[in-house]
A and B are shown apart, each in its own frame.
Chain A
Amino acid sequence: MNEHASRPPAPGAEADQVPDLASVFRAEHGRVVASLARRLGDLDLAEDATGEALLVAAERWPGQGVPPNPGGWLTTVATNKALDRIRREKRRQDKYVEVATMIDRIPSEPPEPTGPVEDDRLRLIFTCCHPALAPENRVALTLRLLGGLTVAEIASAFLVPETTMAQRITRSKQKIRATHIPYRIPGPEDLPARLSGVLAVLYLVFNEGYLGSSGEALRTDLTAEAIRLARQLREMVAGTPALGPLPEVDGLLALMLLVESRAGARVSGGVLVPLEEQDRTTWDAEMIDEGHRLVRGCLAVNRPGAYQLQAAINAVHTDAVEASMTDWSQVVQLFDQLLATTPSPVVALNRAVAVAEVDGPEVALALVDPLPLTAYHAWHATRADLLRRLGRWDQARSAYGRAIELAGNEPERTFLTRRRDALPAPSTPGPAV
């Protein structure tokens, strides 16, 4: 499968199967696997049986149409497939008895799509994002089991050979099985730490799509997947009142929506377009509305965290009809809070960009220069821009040069190259602009 396979089909594309079959599969995969995993206590069997059920659906649905409750249909078929498998494997006699009694309790009516079923997916995501698994394996497992992406799709998204990704996923499932990583929602004392691990996985998926270490500027399949999973996580948390309010979940969803709302304006003709030059009429108003609603809602809980603050910063930008109307002092204030919550040189760098708008490029440059980020292209690009605004052309030129060398993707490189080439020639004395 090529790297475009996981993207939604282009509008008007020839559909040689029931429309949206792939997106139905993806939407229901986590629910079906999670439900089976809980009842069978076997993640591998749950995944295989779900795969078999999807094959049956792929054969039948194009002719017979998608059933009214596709998740319930798939769960029933997958359960039967799992039982068949268990019957064939006689050595698992004890499990057969257990499941055979269980099957009597499975109602012929499709299960309700809410309630304990949501719980199952929540358990599954905590299993997939368990700290005993390596971070890259958490990402792969989450996309595979919750997101329903194929191994080939995940491999191409992260630019590793399919066999490598398959091995990574197999080993992770083996570790879950052998070490008995539990299939449950962590207790209240562990929940905050474990939840932040889950959010980090979703944000990793999103950033891989948005920042594209792969060389492309945007991988909309991954950003859309991260948003979809974050939305599911939010539903699951809301459906589990015992967890209480967890505003960072809303904060992360808002952050991703607000960043994604600008995706269409971010690259034009293969060149990165900086925030202040973007055509704001092309920003996605629906995503912005949802993002703003979420930001207001979670800030009202008054338990600020890194995702909420970053979402709030983005909301200040999406609030401004024109770049010149941006409330930069509010951006600086929010960055002050963010720096207090999660002190890091990268946050300090982004804060300095906002400071430049309030106190001028000279003040900002003094903040940027001492940061230990000489290997980070954005540090050089920020310096280059500040030096350009100060009319220090030669220093700006060499900073652009370093930024171009280190930049990860082509649209950004092209943008930086154009900025550098637009600087006045070395001999021209220039006043500060």
Chain B
Amino acid sequence: MTQYLLSVHDPESGRPDMNESDMQPVFAAVDAFNKELQADGSWVFAGGLEEASTATVVDATGTDVLVTDGPYAETKEQLGGFWVVEAPDLDAALEMARRGSAACQSPVEVRPFQSE
């Protein structure tokens, strides 16, 4: 079994065209998908993130520690949330990503964790 990161990429602006009641079916679908993952044993961890504007970057690669307002990369899409799942192979992980993407209504990137 390999662990995969299924990361959700949202527009940085959030979803201005969707209000709270529009989002209710999305929340319900994601909740249902999470329960499926837990039921079939694929679930490792998952979570949604606050908006990218809440991010802070810490850089201790040099002698001085730099703390700056984030996000780290100014891109149109930001990490909105993620799942960590266990799957026997990429096809199985891609199938989970398909269901996750349909549930949260955002593209999902699939990336394996390093083994060992």
A-B contact pairs, 26 of them (CB 8 A): A130-B90, A132-B90, A132-B94, A178-B112, A178-B114, A179-B2, A179-B4, A179-B90, A179-B93, A179-B110, A179-B111, A179-B112, A180-B2, A180-B88, A180-B89, A180-B90, A180-B112, A181-B89, A181-B90, A181-B91, A182-B88, A182-B89, A182-B90, A182-B91, A186-B91, A190-B91
Interface residues of chain B, those whose CB is within 8 Å of chain A, are: 2, 4, 88-91, 93-94, 110-112, 114
A178 neighbours in B (Cβ, 8 Å):
112, 114
Interface residues of chain A, those whose CB is within 8 Å of chain B, are: 130, 132, 178-182, 186, 190
A180 neighbours in B (Cβ, 8 Å):
2, 88-90, 112
A130 neighbours in B (Cβ, 8 Å):
90
Residue among B2, B88, B90, B110 with most chain A CB within 10 A: B90
In the complex formed, the residue of A with least CB distance to B1 is A180
Task: Describe A's contact surface by its main secondary structure.
Answer: loop
B94 neighbours in A (Cβ, 8 Å):
132
How many Å lie between the Cα of A179 and that of B111 in the bound state? 7
B4 neighbours in A (Cβ, 8 Å):
179
A181 neighbours in B (Cβ, 8 Å):
89-91
A179 neighbours in B (Cβ, 8 Å):
2, 4, 90, 93, 110-112
How many Å lie between the Cα of A178 and that of B5 in the bound state? 13
How many Å lie between the Cα of A132 and that of B110 in the bound state? 10
B55 to chain A, nearest CB (A): 28
How many Å lie between the Cα of A178 and that of B110 in the bound state? 12
How many Å lie between the Cα of A240 and that of B12 in the bound state? 49
A154 to chain B, nearest CB (A): 24
B89 to chain A, nearest CB (A): 4
**Additional A-B contact list (13), CB under 8 Å, known A132-B94, A182-B91:** A178-B114, A179-B93, A179-B110, A179-B111, A179-B112, A180-B90, A181-B90, A181-B91, A182-B88, A182-B89, A182-B90, A186-B91, A190-B91
How many Å lie between the Cα of A132 and that of B111 in the bound state? 11
B75 to chain A, nearest CB (A): 21
How many Å lie between the Cα of A123 and that of B2 in the bound state? 21
In the complex formed, the residue of B with least CB distance to A186 is B91
